[in-house]
Homo-oligomer: A and B are copies of this chain.
Amino acid sequence: MSEVHVARRALLRERCAANSAQAGHADALLVTRPANIRYLTGRPPEGAALLLGADGTDTLLGPAAADPSHRHTGSRPADELRTVAIQSPDGDTAVAAADLAASAGARSLAVEEHHLTVARYRAVDSVAGLHLARLACPVEAQRVVKDQEEIAALRTAAEITDQALGELLESILVGRTERHLALELERRLIDHGAEGSAFPTSVATGRNSGLAHHRPTDRRVEEGDFLSVRLGARYHGYCCQIGRTFVIGTAPDDWQVELYDLVFAAQRAGREALTPGAACSDVDRATRQVLDGAGHAEALGSATGHGVGLEIGEDPRLSPGAMGKLDACVPVTIEPGVHLPGQGGVRIDDTLVVRPAADGGPELLTITTKELLAL
């Protein structure tokens, strides 16, 4: 992977040099947002700072590892990334990076103002001889379109997620708590090779069902309940997301079938709107207008989908105010839901990769059935 990371850093330098809006003519760049560091280096980013120096040298400054196996001070591996361990107890890697930049001759340093706290910014700003500029979001922008290796990681993450969910559906659910079902799903993700959960697994039953960010409780699954689940594996750092709703027991009630069909139609409309060149706000509208038409405008949050990758919520955002258009090879979720207070509701979430119609249209990664199963 290291060639990939060298190329990503080279592209970032080029873009910032070519477009002063990205880094305000700064001659050195400081990256502190963990997902951005991971994207540009492939290394564990916790507490680290990545300096792209004025002299063309790239340096990753990490907190001194208490674990000696992870120490690489001064080494210069094949990917041309110099690594430095910061030893002082409260050593701020960002300040150390600024010191290094200044001593290597940089006069200005662009920093991620959307990630650095004011306190850290002030500390970096106190480094002598260095003018600070704003590093817009060029790394986030670069992360939007995924390469083949990234999409392969997402495919595996989705496969693991489908397996975990599939196994749960074969087990007895009535009488078990939301909390236990969520834990079991998380265990199964790991069993199938995930590094962990991409986000806290949500399991919602009865009148909790259909809530977007429901935290599992001790409520037990009962006959006649809607059961909505939302989970996703993280694999090689990449996060996917699936959401499904089922009914427990015999046949669903009429209101359940009606609500399910409505959310399903909204979700399908969103999926079908996914094509390179489509405006993000139009994809959102495709999903949203089906629910609006049925009087459920209030039920939706501010977005009906979002990009996924090294973070579970990345650009692009599928919302009414979103700017920009979709490109091919951008993975996104389509995730409408309706919750009726006191009754429950339905959520259906998929992760898909935008593809041109000539390639068969959007690639569905999360393939668990979207039929309304009675379990």
Contacts and interface: CB of A to CB of B under 8 A. Distances in A.
Given A118-B113, A186-B183, A320-B89, A302 B69 contact: no
A214 interface: yes
Interface string A108-152: 000101111111011000000000000000000000000000000
Interface stretch (A60-68, A223-231, A267-275): A60-68
A212 interface: yes
Interface residues of A, number: 38
B300 A66 contact: yes
Chain copies in the assembled complex: 2
Given A64-B302, A117-B115, A121-B118, A69 B321 contact: no
A43 interface: no
Interface in A275-319: 298, 300-303, 319
Query: Most chain-B Cβ atoms within 10 A of its Cβ — which of A115, A119, A122, A321?
Result: A119
B67 A211 contact: yes
A180 interface: yes
A69 B211 contact: yes
A88 B302 CA distance: 8
Nearest to A184: B187
A166 interface: no
Contacts of A118: 111, 113-114, 116-118, 121
A302 B121 contact: no
